[in-house]
Structure 1
Amino acid sequence: MAVLPIRIMGDPVLHAPAARVDEITDEVRTLVADMFETMDAAPGVGLAAPQVGVGLRIYTYSYQDDDGEPWRGVLINPDLWMRPLEPGAPDPDEESEGCLSFPGERFPLRRSEEVLVTGTDLDGQPVRIQVAGWRARIMQHEFDHLDGILYLDRLDDADWKTTQKIARKRGWGRPGSAWTPGIDDLDA
C-alpha cells in the first residue's frame, strides 16, 4: 500500500466525469487499498479515485454512526438518491465542509439532509447505505467528485470568488497541482 498524491483543484481529472468500473481487478483492489491509506494519512472522511488521479467511479469513506460505531467502506459505480434541499442559506457553523482537493479551507454549503447510495463493494457484492446528517454530506461530496464537481462549484458567488483568490495565491487551479499527505506541508 502507498500514500498517493492528492490532486488539487484545477487538475483536469477533478473536473471531468469518471468512468464506470467494468471489472474489479487486482489493480482496482490495490487502488482502493492505497486510497484508504491516503485518506487516513490526510486525514479525511472520504476520498474519490479522481482525487488521486484515477478517473474511475470509486470512493472510500470512513465515519462513525450515531452509536459511535465505525463504518468504513468503498463504493464502486455508486448511484445516489437524496431528499430535496431545504430552502435557505447554509448555517456556517453546522453546514460547512472542506475538501482534500482544496486543503485547509472550509466553506458553508447546503446539502440534502438524507441520502440513499447503492453500488458494489470490492467483492462485487451490492452495497446499500441510507444515512442522514454529516454522513449524508460525506456521500454527496464524494459522489460529486465522480461527476467532476468540486464542492467549490456549488458555493455562492462570494465564497466562490474567495476560493479563486486563495487558489491564485497558492498557485493552485492548474493541471498538475497535488500534495502528498505526510510529505507536503500545506500550512498557508
Structure 2
Amino acid sequence: MTEVLQVAQLGNPVLRQPAQLVDNFLDKHLQQLVDNLIATTKVSSGVGIAAPQVSESYRLLIVASRPNLRYPHAPKMEPTAMINPRLIAHSPDMVKGWEGCLSVPGIRGLVPRYRAIEVEYISRDGQKHRQEFTDFVARIFQHEYDHLDGLVFLDRLESTQDIITEQEYQRQIVP
C-alpha cells in the first residue's frame, strides 16, 4: 500500500550524510520506497524528492516535473525513479534559478546550476539509462542529486542576498 512519508527538515542529520549505493534494485522495500516517494512528491506539490529526505539513506531520487502550486510553470513529465544516479557531463554554462525544497519549507533561493546535463542511472526495473536534461528538469536533477551527497540548495547560494521567503516569492516572482 502506497504511503505518504514524513519529510525530514533542515537540521535532521540524515540530510547531511552521504547516501549509500543501492545494490539490490528489485528489493521489495526499495520498490515500495519508490512508490512512496512518488506519492509524497505529489501530495507535497514537489517536482522531485530524494530518499534521504524521508530518512532513507539510499542513492535514489525521483524527478517528477509537473505544474503545481509551488511550480506553476514546470514542464510535465512522468515521475522517474533514478537509482545510483551519476552526473557524467554538463554544459559549461550555469544559470541561476529559484529553488525551494520540501526539507527547507518557507524559503527559496536563487541557485546557480548547469543548464544542460547528461546522467546515468538505474531504473526501478534494474535497467541502465543514459539521458540528457536541460533547463528546469536539469535543475531538479541537480537539486535532488545534491541530497544524495548531504547538500541542500542553501549550500549552493552565492550570497545570502539570494534568499527569499515563499510568501514573497509567490507575491514578487510567480505572477
TM class by shorter chain equals: 0.7 to 0.9
The 1:159–1:128 alpha-carbon spacing in structure 2 relative to 1, beyond 3 Å, is same
Separation in 2 of the partners of 1:38 and 1:125?
Answer: 24
Q: Secondary structure at the match of 1:109?
A: strand
TM-score, normalised with respect to structure 2: 0.81
Matched letter for residue 15 of structure 1: R
Separation in 2 of the partners of 1:158 and 1:83?
Answer: 26
- Runs of 4 or more consecutive aligned structure 1 residues displaced over 4 Å after TM superposition: none
Q: Secondary structure at the match of 2:78?
A: strand
Separation in 2 of the partners of 1:159 and 1:23?
Answer: 43
Q: Which residue of 1 aligns with 2:11?
A: 10
Q: Which residue of 1 aligns with 2:169?
A: none
User: Cα RMSD over matched residues?
Assistant: 2.0
Matched letter for residue 31 of structure 1: L
Cα shift at 1:157: 3.7
TM-score, normalised with respect to structure 1: 0.76
Separation in 2 of the partners of 1:86 and 1:143?
Answer: 16
**Match 1:102 to one of 94, 101, 104:** 104
Q: Which residue of 2 aligns with 1:46?
A: 48
Q: Which residue of 2 aligns with 1:82?
A: 90
Worse-matched range after superposition: 38-47 or 98-107: 98-107
Larger Rg: 1
Matched letter for residue 125 of structure 2: D
The 1:3–1:82 alpha-carbon spacing in structure 2 relative to 1, beyond 3 Å, is same
Unaligned runs of 5+ in 1: 167-188
Unaligned runs of 5+ in 2: 67-74, 166-175
Q: Which residue of 2 aligns with 1:182?
A: none
Q: Secondary structure at the match of 2:53?
A: helix
Deviation sequence 1:106-163 (CA, Å, 0-9, x none): 1111110001111101110012220111111001001111011101111134248x69
Matched, 1:137 2:135: no
Matched letter for residue 115 of structure 2: E
Separation in 2 of the partners of 1:101 and 1:69?
Answer: 23
CA contact (8 A) 1:75 1:127 kept: no
CA contact (8 A) 1:85 1:110 kept: no
The 1:149–1:85 alpha-carbon spacing in structure 2 relative to 1, beyond 3 Å, is farther
Q: How many residues align?
A: 154
Separation in 2 of the partners of 1:36 and 1:123?
Answer: 16
CA contact (8 A) 1:42 1:100 kept: yes
**Match 1:32 to one of 6, 13, 34:** 34
Using CA pairs under 8 Å that are at least 6 residues apart, name the structure with larger relative contact order, 1 or 2. 1
